[in-house]
């Protein structure tokens, strides 16, 4: 089992920055992929970014949704078992609850929430215009 706890959300003006964190506990060595998703009110949960994960391998692969490319950066700290999402140049349309997710296998269908077995509780990000 893996437990995920997000932090770092808040209220920011358009053009500002926030950094989200997601601490993994339990069996983080079993994780192969970690990702961020977001869900705005009345909308589906959408893929934001993902990074491959290994406690023994320093290489990584990252992927981003087109809407956040060039503005958001996903990264990980293996020593701290923590995932990050640095969000710059925030826009009002980035307002959503952001969720951290993890999976124990690699899949080409990483953009779909159904392919992740572990989820955090979510953290609210609100961007004012």
Strand partners, 53: none
Query: How far apart are the C-alpha atoms of 54 and 98, rounded to whole Å?
Result: 23
List per-residue pLDDT tens for the chain, 129 residues long: 899 999 999 999 999 999 999 999 998 888 889 999 999 999 999 999 999 876 666 667 899 999 999 999 999 988 899 999 999 999 999 999 999 999 998 888 999 999 999 999 999 999 999
CB 74 within 8 A of CB 84: yes
> Is the Cβ–Cβ distance between 47 and 34 less than 8 Å?
no
Which stretch of DSSP H or E encloses residue 34?
strand 33-39
CA distances from 98 to 10, 30, 62, 79, 121 (A): 11, 23, 18, 23, 9
Give me the pLDDT at residue 57, please.
66
pLDDT of residue 30: 85
The 3-state DSSP class for residue 68 equals coil
């Amino acid at each position: 089992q893996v437990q995920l706890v997000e932090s770092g959300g808040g209220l920011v003006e358009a053009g500002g920055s926030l950094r989200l964190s997601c601490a993994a506990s339990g069996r983080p060595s079993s994780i192969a992929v970690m990702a961020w998703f977001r869900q705005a009110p009345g909308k589906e949960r959408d893929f934001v970014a993902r990074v491959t994960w290994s406690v023994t391998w320093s290489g990584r692969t990252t992927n981003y949704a087109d809407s956040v490319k060039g503005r958001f950066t996903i990264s990980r700290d293996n020593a701290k078992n923590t995932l990050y999402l640095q969000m710059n140049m925030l826009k009002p349309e980035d307002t959503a609850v952001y969720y951290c997710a993890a999976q124990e296998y690699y899949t080409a269908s990483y953009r779909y929430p159904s392919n992740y077995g572990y989820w955090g509780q979510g953290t609210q990000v609100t961007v004012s215009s």
